[in-house]
């Protein structure tokens, strides 16, 4: 169960980064939010 949660955490991080990369970099507040993670 613990390994499954860790895998889900990594998967969520990858999806979050892909969303940040897809969105235009003109939105600086969102870019700063992505850099925090």
Give the 3-state DSSP-derived string for 1-37, with helices as H, strands as E and coil as C. Answer: CHHHHHHHHHHHHHHHHHHHHHCCCCCHHHHHHHHHC
The Cα 37–Cα 20 span in angstroms is 10
Q: Residues with Cβ < 8 Å from 34, sequence gap 6 or more?
A: 16, 17, 20
- Give the pLDDT confidence score for residue 30 in this predicted structure: 66
Domain with 26, as residue range(s), is 2-36
- Give the pLDDT confidence score for residue 28 in this predicted structure: 67
Q: How many domains does the chain have?
A: 1
pLDDT 10s digits, 1-37:
677 778 888 888 888 887 777 665 556 676 677 677 6
């Amino acid at each position: 169960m613990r390994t499954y949660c860790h895998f889900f955490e990594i998967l969520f991080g990858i999806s979050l980064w892909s969303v940040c990369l897809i969105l235009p970099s003109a939105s600086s507040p969102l870019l700063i939010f992505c850099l925090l993670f």
